[in-house]
Amino acid sequence: MIKRAILRALYGVMIGLAASSAIADDDAIPKPDPVGWWRVIHVDDARSTSKCVGNPITPLCVAETWMGCHVRRDQELCRMADPKYDDFGRPFPKVARTSIKRYRILSADRLTRKTIPKPTYENDSSNWRPGDIRIMILKVNCTVFDQGEYCFTGKPDPEGFIIRRVDDRWILADTVSPPRITR
């Protein structure tokens, strides 16, 4: 009798912890940004809207750390977002200009068996798993000069990230190259 009561209590605690973990993970899915709102990743934290580049504690922080590694040309940031990152012995080349990335979140969702697309030439989704978080953004790459900022004209480029929870952390599982998005 006592053993059964203890087992029921432990089972209840385990169910409660699992439910709170799922709720916490759903809270980590970022909301889309309003049309016209742009975030920025700059060469330093002071001029960036993100305060978590280098601290991949949420799916969005993983994506921002990955973008930050390219804007800041810092391979350690790449490894923080993607532990399997390999620079193939080629460090980022030194450049004389400063780059920034403006972006906004289009959508974010948790993948299910039904929402994982079939692999294509552009996107090999064979590595995607149910439970992964997909974040889709529009991005504009800009260059900063002494006279100001120049952002490449034309339509913003879409980009996506597949973020996976592994043990107690989030990592970049894949990037997504969707067809052009017009909004």
Number of domains in the chain: 2
The type of residue at 164 is R
Residues 79 and 153 placed together within one structural domain of the fold: yes
Q: Is the pLDDT of residue 39 over 90?
A: yes
Q: Is the pLDDT of residue 165 over 60?
A: yes
Residues 7 and 84 placed together within one structural domain of the fold: no
Cα separation, 134 vs 60, whole angstroms: 10
Residues 60 and 109 placed together within one structural domain of the fold: yes
CA–CA distances in Å: residue 126 to residues 96, 116, 148: 39, 9, 43
Domain extent for 126: 31-176
What is the maximum span of the chain, computed from C-alpha positions, in angstroms?
79
Lowest mean pLDDT among 12-16, 30-34, 160-164: 12-16
Looking up tokens 């970022």, which residue turns up? 30
Strands (DSSP E) along 89-132, which ranges?
A: 98-110
Most confident of 21-30, 35-44, 146-155: 35-44
Cα separation, 54 vs 100, whole angstroms: 16
Residues 67 and 1 placed together within one structural domain of the fold: no
The type of residue at 10 is L
Q: Is the pLDDT of residue 115 over 60?
A: yes
44, 40, 39, 102: which is closest to 72 by C-alpha?
Answer: 44
- 121 in any annotated domain: yes
Residues 86 and 119 placed together within one structural domain of the fold: yes
Looking at residue 21, what is its pLDDT?
42
Element (H, E) at 166: strand 157-166
- 182 in any annotated domain: no
CA–CA distances in Å: residue 63 to residues 51, 99, 115, 129: 12, 17, 20, 17
Residue 60 tokens read as 């969005």
Residues 45 and 5 placed together within one structural domain of the fold: no
Residues 37 and 25 placed together within one structural domain of the fold: no
pTM for the model:
0.79
Q: Is the pLDDT of residue 100 over 70?
A: yes
Counting Cβ atoms within 10 Å, is residue 6 exposed (0-12), middle (13-18) or buried (19+)? Answer: exposed
